[in-house]
Structure 1
Amino acid sequence: MNSLAALLDWYATLTPASLDRIAQFYAADAHFRDPFNDVHGVPAIATVFRHMFAHTEAPRFEIAERIEQGEQAFVTWTFHFGLRGRAYAVAGGSHLRFGADGRVIMHRDYWDAAEELWQQLPVLGPPVRWLRKRFRAA
């Protein structure tokens, strides 16, 4: 079976220094996808997280719920970070598949970039909120 608990502990305490341990949790050819990235391999996945640390203030993941079934799991989380002195929180979920050795072979993040991020930003927020209202059914 996988080591979901260890992976989630690593995420909950992730720092630029602990990022060096990524290969303990991700297989060499793992696939990672989120609304902005679609990469393969540990070096590329590490680059996504290095970019996160370089471009956000005090990023951290708060793990909420987890569901495990066989060699896969789904986890809900909130990503907290700052941007230009303003605090943000993005809620989302991750579908994870584990290889025979317990390391992640597929990681797909699901979150609504428009609702969770863009409409919170000062410049993009008003037009995104207007569009969302325009397309809402009721």
Structure 2
Amino acid sequence: MTEHPHTELDTHVARLVAFFENLTPASLDQLNQFYTPGAYFKDPFNEVRGLAEVHGIFSHMYEALRQPRFVVTDRIAQGDQCFLTWNFEFYFKGFDKATPQTIRGGSHIKFTADGLVDFHRDYWDAAEELYEKLPLLGGLMRWLKKRAQQ
């Protein structure tokens, strides 16, 4: 196996991965050490620009879910950007509080020259990974999926 030289990008990616895998409500106050003031963030439910707005999305995650955490499963880094695959593990607060939930997704991240995130786009299938797990809507989504496969 060939060893690749450690790059500055690898350092930025490793720092960011460690931040996300150890994220807590208190550590959100360190977001400015990882994101630019005008950072862009998009996922299936949000599209925002600005550190305060990104902070708000992650804060809401802790309000809406119990024990949310990210586990990065792989990373690809090149140039000034990376793609991370991850599992987002959590428990619902409102219903089915006992069943652990997992959403599998990926993040496209672009760094500035000084190693801060200026672009963060999350990709995951909201229908499969979330809607199918919800009461009422989940039954409808599973039925629609089954019908589409016939």
TM superposition score category, shorter chain reference: over 0.9
Q: Deviations over 1:82-112 (max 9, x none)?
A: 1131321000000000111110010000000
> 2:68 is aligned with what amino acid?
P
Which residue does the alignment assign to 1:103?
A: 116
What is the DSSP-based 3-state SS (H/G/I as helix, E as strand, rest coil) of the residue aligned with 2:31?
A: helix
How many angstroms does 1:122 deviate by? 2.0
Which residue does the alignment assign to 1:42?
A: 51
2:100 aligned with 1:126: no
Report 1:58-77 matches (<5 A): 58-77=67-86
> 1:75 is aligned with what amino acid?
L
Which residue does the alignment assign to 1:114?
A: 127
Stretches of 4+ aligned residues off by more than 4 angstroms: none
Distance 2:126 2:102 in 1: 12
- What percentage of residue pairs aligned between the two structures are identical? 47
Greater Rg by CA: 2
Which residue does the alignment assign to 1:10?
A: 19
What is the DSSP-based 3-state SS (H/G/I as helix, E as strand, rest coil) of the residue aligned with 1:57?
A: strand
**TM-score of the superposed pair, with normalisation by structure 2:** 0.88
Distance 1:4 1:87 in 2: 28
Which residue does the alignment assign to 1:80?
A: 89
Unaligned runs of 5+ in 2: 1-7
Unaligned runs of 5+ in 1: none
Distance 2:147 2:78 in 1: 39
- CA RMSD, aligned part only? 1.0
Distance 1:21 1:49 in 2: 12
Q: Deviations over 1:63-97 (max 9, x none)?
A: 10000011000000000011131321000000000
Greater shift after overlay, 124-133 or 13-22? 124-133
**TM-score of the superposed pair, with normalisation by structure 1:** 0.96
Q: Say how many residue pairs are matched.
A: 137
